[in-house]
Amino acid sequence: MENSVLDNTVVKKSITLFGLLKIFCLLIILYFISLSIYFPVKQLKVFNNTYSDTLLFKGEEINIINDDSIAALKIKESFLQSRITMAKSDSICFSIDLKDSLLLLEIRGVIVHEAKISKIVKSHFFSRVDNIALIKYLSEPFKVDHKIATIEKEPIIFKKAPKDTIEAATQIFMPDTLANEIICITMVFDKNLFLEIAQSEEKPQFNNLWFLIKKRSKNVAQVVKNSFSFKEPYYTPKILIELPKKDIKSIYRAIPYKPQMAINI
Amino acid sequence: MNNELTGPSFNNESLDHISEETNTNSKDSISEKIQQIWHKWLKKLTHYFLITCFVVLGLFWLVLYFIPYLQEMAFLLIPETHKEYITADSKFSDKFKNNIIKTTIKLQRKIDSNTPNSSYLVINTTENSFHLYSGKRLVRTGSCSTGSYTLLQASDDKQWIFKTPRGVKHIHGKTTSPVWKKPDWAFVEEGLPVPPPNDNSRFEYGTLGDYALSIGDGYLIHGTLYQRLLGLPVTHGCVRLNDKDLESVYYTLNIGSKVYIY
């Protein structure tokens, strides 16, 4: 009798503990969900404060620039200004014109490759920020902080020197022209921008699952990290563009490890 | 049952009947045992396994899809800041707009001025293709062969990487009927002993085609004997063209002309 009472108490206790654990987990998930909503909103304010330049416009100009059509002209001007800055450097860089749906690869200001963008998805962030801040943000080139891709940047083939002519004859290499790979690149820029360039051709997501997990989990890991540190909010505005496979490959292989980019939103 | 076994009426039929019964009994006991195991821990284990799977998949979905989606949706809570604005003074607005347009045109011209007015060549090392321009006009386009990205490792710690350099290059020199002076790697790659610097075996005639254009650092734009490999990355860093394209490039580009390689 006593034993059964004891057992009941143990069972009840474990049920209560399990219930508490469930509530705790639920609270943590809710906390992260609410933070992931709060961070973008907060980031908007941080962005406006960082890039609002009071010297850029004066008097009535500040009011006029709120007009989207005039702001678009000023953004185009910023874009060209960025491209001129990039043209001064020796390295290969690229420009994205979302208005004309073009991606341009440039060497010293000369367009060497032009690719038509077939799909554009951009964060709502850009339609919520102040025009003045956006103009200032786009007036300088962006520099890639880090990038990941599904393809190799330099497809190096290692070859050991043959001992004689017979061994050399067996080493003749022919490149694989039938390789069917899914091409996707993601870049994070120094000015807090996430750019994804994906192929416009059909892309089965599950063939690329590891890349997908790697790409998306980074964002969540940063949200979690910043939630614990209680420092600044974490949100990176995103732009997704789609291009033909061969264009992405040419561009990715051509650009240096830390390329510069200009963008017209 | 035991009586039957030991009794006088014992025969084969009854033996079969007994073995059937024993089988049924053993089957029953196995199913009982399985049921016991199921109730004892297998049921719980399956239950926990399913819960774990559900939680893991849920977290996966939350992390990979729901949070990014939620972050984007958060902006819908904020009104759009961009709007049409009608100024009281439309003259001032028009003047401001015209000024921006003028600056934009000026900047566009400045960018366009970077493109050479004379002839130049653009080479895509990934696609293994080229575009020949004379000013802003496209003169010729076609296939070429560029560096194979092979890293050749010799036994004496020496190594060579066969890739075409990228960036802006200039035509340093032009030659007709060029002779190829084979470098050390050409012998190493073929498994042959490396001869002295000016040995006769180093000089090869006809391999580079009818013309060669030097772009510096020993890299050339030249012809090839292996025309079927054009369009593939198979060279040691030089750019190979077919005979017709090479002739066109040779006569269009001058010394100092720019070659853009990417």
Q: What are the chain A neighbours of B190 within 8 Å (beta carbons)?
A: 162, 165, 168
- Is B122 within 8 Å of chain A by CB? yes
Question: Would the CB atoms of A64 and B85 count as touching at under 8 Å?
Answer: yes
Tell me the two tokens of residue A152: 């190799």
Considering only the beta carbons, identify the residue of A90, A113, A162 that sits closest to B262: A113
Q: What are the chain A neighbours of B68 within 8 Å (beta carbons)?
A: 216, 219
Rounded to 10°, the helix A68-87/A131-138 angle is: 20
pLDDT tens-digit series, residues A13-62: 667 888 888 888 888 888 877 877 888 888 888 899 999 877 778 777 88
pLDDT tens-digit series, residues B215-254: 999 999 999 998 999 999 999 999 999 999 999 999 999 9
Contact A91, A256 (CB under 8 A): yes
- Is B129 within 8 Å of chain A by CB? no
Question: Would the CB atoms of A44 and B163 count as touching at under 8 Å?
Answer: no
Tell me the two tokens of residue B14: 């009854």
Q: What percent of chain B has pLDDT over 70?
A: 87
Mutate to test the interface with A, among B61, B69, B75 (most CBs of A within 10 A): B75
List Cβ neighbours of A163 (8 Å cut-off, separation of 6 or more): B191
Q: Environment class of residue B23 by beta-carbon count within 10 Å: exposed (0-12), middle (13-18) or buried (19+)?
A: exposed
pLDDT tens-digit series, residues B73-111: 888 888 776 565 555 567 888 888 999 999 999 999 999
User: If chain A, 265 residues long, is cut into consecutive pieces of 10 residues, what is the mean pLDDT of each piece?
Assistant: 62 76 85 81 89 79 84 94 94 96 96 96 91 92 92 90 86 72 91 93 72 73 71 81 95 95 95
For A:236-265, CB contacts with B below 8 A are: 246, 249-250, 253-254
State the complex-level ipTM.
0.83
Contact A120, A240 (CB under 8 A): yes
Q: Domain of A130?
A: 2-264
Question: Would the CB atoms of B87 and A64 count as touching at under 8 Å?
Answer: yes
Q: What are the chain B neighbours of A225 within 8 Å (beta carbons)?
A: none
The whole-angstrom distance between A2's CA and the closest CA on chain B is 23
The count of structural domains within chain A is 1
Helix (H) or strand (E) holding B190: none
Question: Would the CB atoms of A246 and B234 count as touching at under 8 Å?
Answer: no
For B:58-77, CB contacts with A below 8 A are: 62-68, 70-77
The whole-angstrom distance between B202's CA and the closest CA on chain A is 17
